[in-house]
Structure 1
Amino acid sequence: MTGPVARSLSALFLAAATLSAAARQPEDLKKAKAYVAEVRKHLLESYVEREKLSGEKLDKAGLAGLAAAMDHRDYAALDEKTRVRIRGSVREARSVEAALDAVSIVVDDGFDFLKFADHAARAMVRETGDPYSRILTSDEFNKLLKLMQGGGREESPGLAVQAADGAVAYVQYGYPAYEEGIEIGDVVVEIDGKPVAGRAQEEINESLKLRPGTPLAVKIRRPGHAEPYVFRLEARASPVKDVRTEYLGEGIGYLRMTIFDLKLSSEVRKGLEDLKRRGMKKLILDLRHNPGGALPAATAVADLLLPQGLVITTTESNYKPNLFGIEIPGVGGDQEYKTKVRTDFEEMPLVVLIDRASASASELLAGALQDHRRGKLIGRTTYGKGVGQAPIFLTSVFQKRYLYLTVMTYKLPSGRSIHHKGVVPDIDFAEEKPSPETFARIRSLREGGRVAKYVDAAWGGHAGALRRLAKNDGFEWGRYPGFDALYESLETRLSKDEVRAEVRRAVRRRMERTENVVWTSDLETDAQLQRALVELLD
């Protein structure tokens, strides 16, 4: 039988098969379809730049994600015939849900539809072009909560890398990436020998984990430098302190924050009160290499340093959070945050240190202090992240997947946005950096391990002297035992002063590793901190 009648019967049989498949849909297929529908809905309704999206765009991206999944290791065990049939089913579909229905006809029982739908959901989120939004598994969500509560950082190198181009998004103070010298502006090309190009953000995040006793090799390219560098990052023996304080003398206190988690404000208050007891009358607040964190933490710290009743920030959001119909306050909608309390620190002379790696909540705090003329900002223009994210509970796959989505923009008290602009310092100050040639020689010296071996050998008879030099060596290489012999043996083109600096660095690192010393500042070498002291002492 041929002709129109045959084609009509064929279409009828196909429709009947589809209806039959729909009638016997397994529960996980229904959940997978509801999952992608829920992700699409939140992207179209709650994403901060929702006007750039459409259902058609998101479905096109989601279908591409399903097709590309056949090349993913998750499906390496599938035979080629099944992969071809799945690709064909996806290619003919007009929506992600229709594709899932079509695929259900050609796969065996036991096919994991939720994992398959993940490829669509993640591709839909990537369609936003937003480096901060992503799908979270339950494990990733729990780790995020733990981070916000001040824990779970043992595996972190203090480094974030953007999948789109390998650019370093942030380097956090005190963590291995910072200690080894990775910077904003670097481009990561390999992690443990595997190229970054072409990898999903989730894969990159997973690969950036430290394991005790196993260095993580991160290869970077740095603009202006001829060759790439490989940094070997090792897990720290002790956790990084989020709040560090030091009394510098002359009535000046110093407080550094490494991140804004939900326990930060109480630690900052304790630190400020301790400095005040020690004689602090002026304060240096250090926000360099602080990638931000929780908005409530930033507003709570601002409340300690600004007079009562002042605006800290205003937020705008399309997101109206709810969980099974229960509204969740303090996350979505348009809000204004003001200072609520009076403190002993709100009129204290203040200098704030910032740099290109000060981001998000750090910028919010620095910008609010600047807008209210509360203190001088010294450093470089900050990173420029004026948006905030919220974890959205996906009720269709409750406690299995979450949508971490950029839902909010914030503005400073003056009404200005810092997104893609950053906070411009009152006093521009750039740290002097070594030339590419000098930096390459320093990297070669560190990788050779000769300086670290010298320090270990000298420690037995000179530990006390080395501890004192770690605090201040007066830029005198002759104070290090056997320095001239060390320098001659290195056969390096570095100057004696440059090698002295590396020896002192190795001493400080040894004290961190073996004596759990926590260095708060280094007034001898930190020119930006020295500039802050000059500002407060004038």
Structure 2
Amino acid sequence: MRRNTGFLKGFIAGVLTLALLFSVYMGVKGLLEVAYRSGLPLTSREYRDVGDKMRELGRVLEEHYLEEVEVQAMEEEALRGFVAGLGDPYTTYFSQEEYSSFLEKMEGSYEGIGVVISYGESEEEILVVAPFPGTPGAMAGIQPGDRIMEVDKEPVSGMSLDMIVERIKGEKGTQVSLTLYRKRTEETLEVQVTRDVIDVPTIDHAMLEDQIGYIQIAGFEENTYDQFKEALEDLEGQGIKGLVVDLRNNPGGFMHIVAAIGNELVPEGMIVYTEDKNGERSELKSDNKTPFDKPLVVLVNEYSASASEILAGAVKDRGVGTVVGVQTFGKGLVQRNFELGDGSAVKVTIAKYYTPNGSYINGVGIAPDVVLPLEEAPEGAEQAEGPVMDNQLQKAVEIIRSQQ
């Protein structure tokens, strides 16, 4: 009897153990099935390379993402993000369409609203450097310093500068809506602008009183040197006794173009030099034995950047003129475009540049010889022809008069 009782107890214990093991098995199996269906990782492993990880990520999204997966758009953004991972706002990826548009603009003509934009104190702050005179942006009332918050109701936060530019540009006759914040008046404005063909007016010139010439350079594009040379020859033909070069609100452009203009104003010697990651130095020098030899003033402001600072730095360091205004933007980096096999491209920061005296001005800017903040123009200051005679331009004229 005891033997039977012991057997019965052992049998029952065995059955219970099997039942427990079966329950555990079914539970684990169920968890594995749920994890599999949810796309959760079941084990930890090292990927062979980032491509291996991307392929797994793509499979998860293709199988589980709620909406349709736009693979081409994702690939473009992945490339953009890969480059953005450098943390350099000036090194950027261009799609084929973006690069074609970029080259078009640098040639001096494109379809858009005629407004130059740049980063502010951070990549989250997109500021208007200047609207080109007479363009849709200028006629819509957009002003230097306006912060762009939205393009067509879409917040620009998180977009690269090039992406924002592409959204603002568009076919002639179409409209774009910009939401702007104007710090000076603490206003949020919404403006509707009709796009047009923009022939970039990089040079404007005039004869001021007392035979003082004035040349405004809006940017250093491919057509700028020829325009500058024509303007200077026109003014010299009228017998100028001094020259004001206005670089205010000029965001920069091609280094070879600013070097060519510097060659007209600076005597033989250094204009600018660069150093790359390997410490290799390249120099751009003037070889002009008969440069401009009359009193010269260069006007700058906080939006004078890059190539503008190269010219202002050369004039200041070489002692051939007086720089007037406020501290410049502070972009002392050089970029180069590399076209990829499919027509897309990447713009890469390849070097630092230094003024003739060896100053590296990135994040610092150039201090003017005469510091003079811009005052609000009085009523009636606008003229039918020629530049507005604001206090900075008046100071430039005063300096030239004193040197004649």
Instruction: Give the TM-score band, short-chain normalised.
Output: 0.7 to 0.9
Looking at structure 2, the residues matched to 402 and 533 of structure 1 have their Cα atoms a distance apart, in angstroms, of 45
Please, which of 53, 68, 72 is the counterpart of residue 99 of structure 1? 53
Looking at structure 2, the residues matched to 296 and 242 of structure 1 have their Cα atoms a distance apart, in angstroms, of 15
Counterpart in 2 of 1:483?
Answer: none
Cα displacement (A) at 1:383: 0.7
Letter in 2 for 1:279: G
Give a deviation string over 1:303-326, Cα, whole Å, max 9, x none. 010112x1111111238xxxxxxx
Looking at structure 2, the residues matched to 535 and 267 of structure 1 have their Cα atoms a distance apart, in angstroms, of 26
Looking at structure 2, the residues matched to 92 and 383 of structure 1 have their Cα atoms a distance apart, in angstroms, of 48
- Is 2:336 the counterpart of 1:373? no
Give a deviation string over 1:407-442, Cα, whole Å, max 9, x none. 2110000000111111111111222238xxxxxxxx
Cα displacement (A) at 1:123: 1.6
- Is 2:401 the counterpart of 1:537? yes
- The TM-score, its normalising length taken from structure 1, stands at 0.59
Aligned CA distance change for structure 1 residues 225 and 335 (closer, same or farther; 3 Å): same
Counterpart in 1 of 2:22?
Answer: none
- Is 2:282 the counterpart of 1:335? yes
Kept in 1, the 8 Å contact 2:113–2:194? The answer is no
The 5 A counterparts of 1:270-309 are 270-308=230-268
Looking at structure 2, the residues matched to 199 and 127 of structure 1 have their Cα atoms a distance apart, in angstroms, of 14
Counterpart in 2 of 1:353?
Answer: 299
Please, which of 350, 364, 388 is the counterpart of residue 522 of structure 1? 388
Please, which of 386, 389, 400 is the counterpart of residue 335 of structure 2? 389
Looking at structure 2, the residues matched to 253 and 191 of structure 1 have their Cα atoms a distance apart, in angstroms, of 39
Kept in 2, the 8 Å contact 1:315–1:410? The answer is yes
Looking at structure 1, the residues matched to 41 and 79 of structure 2 have their Cα atoms a distance apart, in angstroms, of 20
- Is 2:29 the counterpart of 1:165? no
Looking at structure 2, the residues matched to 238 and 115 of structure 1 have their Cα atoms a distance apart, in angstroms, of 29
Aligned CA distance change for structure 1 residues 399 and 306 (closer, same or farther; 3 Å): same
Looking at structure 2, the residues matched to 367 and 390 of structure 1 have their Cα atoms a distance apart, in angstroms, of 21
Cα displacement (A) at 1:181: 4.3
Cα displacement (A) at 1:96: 2.5
Looking at structure 1, the residues matched to 125 and 239 of structure 2 have their Cα atoms a distance apart, in angstroms, of 46
Looking at structure 1, the residues matched to 85 and 37 of structure 2 have their Cα atoms a distance apart, in angstroms, of 24
Looking at structure 1, the residues matched to 356 and 400 of structure 2 have their Cα atoms a distance apart, in angstroms, of 25
Counterpart in 2 of 1:245?
Answer: 205
Counterpart in 2 of 1:122?
Answer: 80
2:356 counterpart SS class: coil
1:165 counterpart SS class: coil
Please, which of 361, 365, 374 is the counterpart of residue 431 of structure 1? 374
Looking at structure 2, the residues matched to 122 and 84 of structure 1 have their Cα atoms a distance apart, in angstroms, of 29
Percent identity between matched residues is 28
Letter in 2 for 1:338: K
Cα displacement (A) at 1:136: 0.6
- Is 2:90 the counterpart of 1:135? no
Kept in 2, the 8 Å contact 1:161–1:170? The answer is no
Kept in 1, the 8 Å contact 2:115–2:128? The answer is no
Give a deviation string over 1:190-212, Cα, whole Å, max 9, x none. 22222223445454222222554
Letter in 2 for 1:96: V
2:358 counterpart SS class: coil
Counterpart in 1 of 2:17?
Answer: none
Structure with bigger helix share is 1
Counterpart in 2 of 1:405?
Answer: 348
1:152 counterpart SS class: strand
Cα displacement (A) at 1:178: 5.3
Bigger Rg, which one? 2
Cα displacement (A) at 1:97: 1.1
Give a deviation string over 1:334-359, Cα, whole Å, max 9, x none. 301111233351x2210111111111
Looking at structure 2, the residues matched to 337 and 389 of structure 1 have their Cα atoms a distance apart, in angstroms, of 16
Give a deviation string over 1:91-146, Cα, whole Å, max 9, x none. 977442112333566659xx886654333322222222222221111222222222
1:158 counterpart SS class: strand
Cα displacement (A) at 1:286: 0.8
Letter in 2 for 1:420: G
Looking at structure 2, the residues matched to 236 and 97 of structure 1 have their Cα atoms a distance apart, in angstroms, of 43
Counterpart in 1 of 2:270?
Answer: 311
1:253 counterpart SS class: strand
Aligned CA distance change for structure 1 residues 252 and 199 (closer, same or farther; 3 Å): closer
**What RMSD over aligned residues (CA atoms) do the two structures have, in Å?**
3.5
Counterpart in 2 of 1:182?
Answer: 143
Counterpart in 2 of 1:148?
Answer: 106
Equivalenced residues, count = 359
Gaps of 5+ in 1: 1-81, 320-331, 435-496, 509-518
Cα displacement (A) at 1:233: 3.6
Aligned CA distance change for structure 1 residues 150 and 205 (closer, same or farther; 3 Å): closer
- The TM-score, its normalising length taken from structure 2, stands at 0.77
Aligned CA distance change for structure 1 residues 83 and 305 (closer, same or farther; 3 Å): farther
Looking at structure 2, the residues matched to 183 and 169 of structure 1 have their Cα atoms a distance apart, in angstroms, of 5
Gaps of 5+ in 2: 1-35, 64-68
Structure with bigger strand share is 2
Give a deviation string over 1:23-45, Cα, whole Å, max 9, x none. xxxxxxxxxxxxxxxxxxxxxxx
The 5 A counterparts of 1:5-24 are none
1:228 counterpart SS class: strand
The 5 A counterparts of 1:229-268 are 229-235=189-195, 239-268=199-228
Looking at structure 1, the residues matched to 362 and 136 of structure 2 have their Cα atoms a distance apart, in angstroms, of 28
Aligned CA distance change for structure 1 residues 195 and 343 (closer, same or farther; 3 Å): same
2:256 counterpart SS class: helix
Kept in 2, the 8 Å contact 1:302–1:312? The answer is yes
Kept in 1, the 8 Å contact 2:113–2:193? The answer is no
